[in-house]
A and B are shown apart, each in its own frame.
Chain A
């Protein structure tokens, strides 16, 4: 087991200064190359969507169907991860391109853009892994640390997790409505209705597109289009879920209490972002398909730097961590994902809460 590192005094200040300097260095270098990258990604998304959807609609036989599913899945995954998620973080706002503006971008998923901007950019990135404040920690469904409350239904959480994984876009979509709060009577119906309506609108449009409009345009071929779209959405759901869970719920990821983060400095915030995140190792296309969330640590340190930069600065972040004795949590996909599954199964049982001792100050 790896314990949480806490830095103090000069070490903390030095750690903060080094990371600030790294961010500034990249900021000063941003330009043409990053603009080209995001435009290229958007072109790949559009091309694979056109190829994927048309081979589903107008193709014959199983091979074109599989090709169609692959094309459409690729389009959805890249659009959600490398384009949508990153654009909505403001990574490309400096381009002054209204079609790549963080505040107006809308993505190909049932989750409304404004809901995402709030639950993800504001709540999750600000309060990363603070129990009770970061609603992404366990998504209000899963118990992933001893400090979370255990109920008998937690025993079934591997099943809940499976259901969440295959329906992940819906989990993300209803996340910012805060249904739990309404159910517990802590939200008035009027507010609830106001929060639900953007979700219903966006979900309606997405369902219509994938399950009515495109199947209908294929006439008698509608079943293969309908099924293909369903499978493509499913592949995207499972993939994004696995990547995102690997980002924060692997075995050695730390959690924080509200008390711990009182009067937190920026250096401590950086520390929490690093110790609350974990990376995945892989090749260039693997990183692209994860939207560079495989560099979750770098992304959480600097959420508004263009994502391909994360891969470039990763060795230096790792070096800074090594020098300050901070665990840099990284590994291959299967190792990290196995850690996630272990965590889900382990805490399905009523694991006892460890007492916070000075042992954590190793």
Chain B
């Protein structure tokens, strides 16, 4: 699965449980002992010897690359000790360097566990996706950065019948869950309906069929939309007549998920449907709009900015008081993180990407609705 990510800081330290050593640790980490206790400095030394020996970052080495379908590759990654493991259905931020700049995107794990230190993520190349392109260009032996595992996409009930619906690379978290069930010899009744454009495009078709062959409780329906049309209520009702009695997990492209979500809403079954989408979706660019809605802060506060007006002016007109300095784009005091949406740089006319990046409020004007971390 592959989407622009939002609002997650890869390098934010994980909350640590208090141990009885915490006093000692606090003492050792006191800035008085800098630079001797500076983790970033030791990290640079350690990673110069072996890039996996990072003291700070979860990193991994590409061990194996498998072609799963046209334009789809699986990366098998050997993680370092900083990576704390995952549970099936979770995802991770994969961070790659593209022309000197770090870019991170969310991908679901597509294997069941990292007991042997190996994780698998499966990546479909996107048309205008620099990160998926860079991921596809990776070679065995190269090093990547990871976040810790995130998310909680998994059945809520521990027994009871399940339905899994997926399209394209949306099958990845479901693959992870299915493999885990097989490893546990689960006796759960599971149906998965998974589609792709053509038979050849269906990701993991062999793997799913082999799982089904090994388990009497798993039924697999592989659906090629080129022949059978898009998955709709009729197709689901025909293939899985008892779908209304099953807890359902859904993952796939936006349009696909919206159709299924509507079907469940119409049947009053929304409570039994869980969807995996990585964060919110970036708003579309609208150059003709007179004003754009800017969401900021945790409380989902909103203000509007006129087309062509700087975000700083707009925020101030709305009674907000963001930090600012020069108001001409040189000092970076007003720099803040844009979580999603598109802006134009008033000085250079450059248009930003739709995802997460740092922008300067005083020289940025919105081209779409935005989300900011003010």
Quick one: CB contact mask for B320-335 with A, threshold 8 Å, 1 for yes?
0000011010111101
List, in ascending order, chain B residues with CB within 8 A of A93's CB. Answer: 332, 335, 358
Q: In chain A between 58 and 106, which residues have their CB closer than 8 angstroms to a CB of chain B?
A: 89-90, 93-99, 102-103
Q: In the bound complex, do residue A97 and residue B102 qualify as a contact, i.e. CB atoms below 8 Å apart? A: yes
Please indicate the chain B residues that have their CB under 8 angstroms from the CB of A221 in the complex: none
Q: Is A261 an interface residue (CB 8 A)?
A: no
On chain B, the residues within 8 Å of A303 by CB distance are 330
A304 at interface by CB-CB < 8 Å: yes
Query: Are the C-beta atoms of B325 and A31 separated by less than 8 Å?
Result: no
Which residues 198-224 of A have a CB within 8 angstroms of B? 205, 208-209, 213
Report whether A122 and B100 are in contact in the complex, using a CB–CB cutoff of 8 Å: no
Query: Given known contacts A93-B358, A125-B326, is B348 in contact with A24 (CB within 8 Å)?
Result: yes
CA–CA, A30 to B357, complex, Å?
16
| B35 located at the interface, meaning its Cβ lies under 8 Å from any Cβ of chain A in the complex | yes
A146 at the interface (CB under 8 A from B): no
A-chain residues with CB within 8 Å of residue B99 when the two chains form the complex: 31-32
**Assembled-state Cα–Cα distance A45/B32 (Å):** 20
9 A-B pairs with least C-beta separation: A35-B100, A122-B325, A31-B99, A121-B331, A126-B326, A96-B102, A90-B332, A32-B100, A122-B331
| Nearest A residue to B335, CB-CB | A103
Query: What separation, in Å, do the CA atoms of A209 and B37 have in the docked complex?
Result: 12
30 residue pairs from A and B, CB less than 8 Å apart? A20-B347, A23-B348, A24-B349, A30-B100, A33-B100, A34-B100, A35-B101, A36-B100, A46-B41, A46-B45, A49-B35, A90-B332, A93-B335, A93-B358, A96-B101, A96-B358, A103-B332, A103-B335, A121-B325, A121-B330, A121-B332, A122-B331, A125-B326, A125-B331, A126-B330, A126-B331, A208-B32, A213-B32, A213-B36, A304-B332
Within 8 A of A (CB), among B16-56: 31-36, 40-41, 44-45, 48
Cβ of A27 within 8 Å of any chain B Cβ, yes or no, is yes
Query: Assuming A24-B348, A43-B44, A103-B335, is B101 touching A95 (CB within 8 A)?
Result: yes
Closest chain-B Cβ to A1's Cβ sits at a distance in Å of 30
Q: Is A181 an interface residue (CB 8 A)?
A: no
B37 to chain A minimum Cβ distance, whole angstroms, is 11
Bound CA span A323–B292, Å: 43
Q: Does B103 contact A (CB under 8 A)?
A: yes
B332 proximity list for chain A (CB < 8 A): 89-90, 93, 102-103, 117, 121, 304
**Chain B residues near A97 (CB-CB < 8 A):** 102
Among B31, B32, B35, B331, chain A packs the most CB atoms within 10 A around the CB of B331
- Which residues in A have their C-beta under 8 angstroms from that of B331? 117, 121-122, 125-126
Q: Which listed residue (A99, A126, A205) contacts B325, Cβ 8 A?
A: A126
Q: Inside 8 A of A266's CB, which chain B residues have their CB?
A: 328
Residues of A within 8 A of B349 (CB): 24
Taking the complex as formed, is B183 at the interface, i.e. its CB lies under 8 A from any CB of chain A?
A: no
A125 to B328, CA, bound (A): 11
How many chain B residues sit at the interface, stated as a range, is 20 to 34
Determine which of B31, B97, B102, B330 lies in contact with A205 in the assembled complex, contact meaning CB atoms within 8 Å: B31
Query: Does chain B have a CB within 8 A of A42?
Result: yes
A20-B347, A102-B335, A121-B331 known; A96+B103 contact, CB < 8 A: yes
- Please give the distance in Å from A198's CB to the nearest CB on chain B: 13
Q: Are B326 and A122 in contact (CB under 8 A)?
A: yes
Does A269 touch B at the CB level, under 8 Å?
yes
Q: Report B-chain residues with C-beta under 8 Å of the C-beta of A43.
A: 44, 48
Cβ B333 vs Cβ A205 within 8 A: no
A176 to chain B minimum Cβ distance, whole angstroms, is 12
Residue of A nearest to B102 (CB): A96
Q: Which residues of A contact B348 (CB under 8 A)?
A: 20, 23-24, 27
Write the nearest CB–CB distance from B51 to chain A, whole angstroms.
13
Least Cβ–Cβ distance between A81 and chain B, in angstroms: 18
CB of A118 within 8 Å of the partner chain: yes
Residues of B within 8 A of A126 (CB): 325-326, 328, 330-331
Produce 1/0 per residue, B330-347, CB < 8 A to A: 111101000000000001
CB-based contact A42/B44 at 8 Å: yes
Tell which of A99, A205, A213 touches B40, judged by Cβ atoms closer than 8 Å.
A99
Residue from B11, B44, B101, B333 having most chain A Cβ neighbours under 10 A? B101
B350 contacts A by Cβ under 8 Å: yes
Which of A23, A121, A208, A269 contacts B333, CB < 8 Å? Answer: A121
Complex: A205 Cα to B40 Cα, angstroms: 18
- Residues of A near B101 (CB, < 8 A) are 31, 35, 94-96
Q: How far is the CA of A46 from the CA of B40 in the complex (A)?
A: 11
Of listed A42, A97, A122, residue having the most chain B CB within 10 A: A122
Cβ-neighbour of B33 out of A23, A49, A213 (below 8 A): A213
How far does the alpha carbon of A266 sit from the alpha carbon of B33 in the complex, in Å?
46
Chain B, range 342-365, C-beta contacts under 8 Å to A:
347-350, 357-358
> When chains A and B are docked, how far (Å) is the Cα of A133 from the Cα of B333?
18
Question: What are the residues of chain A within 8 A of B358 when measuring CB–CB?
Answer: 93-94, 96
B374 CB, min distance to chain A CBs, angstroms? 14
Taken residue by residue from 102 to 144, chain A's Cβ proximity to chain B (1 for < 8 Å, 0 otherwise) reads as 1100000000000001100110011000000000000000000
Whether B44 and A209, one on each chain, are in contact in the complex, defined by CB atoms closer than 8 angstroms, is no
Query: Using Cβ atoms and an 8 Å threshold, which residues of chain B touch A42?
Result: 44
Using an 8 Å CB-CB cutoff, how does the interface string of B37-81 with A read, 1 for contact, 0 for none? 000110011001000000000000000000000000000000000
Q: How long is the Cα–Cα vector from A268 to B97 in the complex, in angstroms?
A: 38
Residues of chain A lying within 8 A (CB to CB) of residue B100 = 30-36, 94-95
Q: How far is the CA of A117 from the CA of B325 in the complex (A)?
A: 10
New A-B contacts (18) at CB < 8 Å, excluding given A24-B350, A213-B32: A20-B347, A23-B347, A27-B350, A46-B44, A93-B332, A93-B335, A93-B358, A94-B358, A102-B335, A117-B333, A121-B326, A125-B331, A126-B325, A126-B326, A205-B31, A205-B32, A209-B32, A304-B332
Question: Closest B-chain residue to A88, C-beta based?
Answer: B332
Measured CA separation A89–B325 after assembly (Å):
13
A126 and B362 CA atoms in complex are apart in Å by 14
Q: How far is the CA of A180 from the CA of B371 in the complex (A)?
A: 42
